[in-house]
Structure 1
Amino acid sequence: MWNGLYLRGVIPIPGGKELDLRWRNASARADCISRLQESDKLEEAAHTVLKHLGEVKRLYLTAFEEKLLNLIEFEYGNIDEIVLNSQSTKD
Structure 2
Amino acid sequence: MVGEAQEVTMDLAAAHAMAPDAKLVLHQVNVGTGEMDGDTLATYVDVFSDIIDNKAADVVSMSFGSPEGGDNADGNRKAFHAMAPVFVVSP
TM-score by length of 2: 0.29
Which is bigger in relative contact order (C-alpha 8 A, separation at least 6)?
A: 2
TM-score by length of structure 1 reads 0.29
Compare CA radii of gyration and give the structure with the larger one: 1
Higher helix share: 2
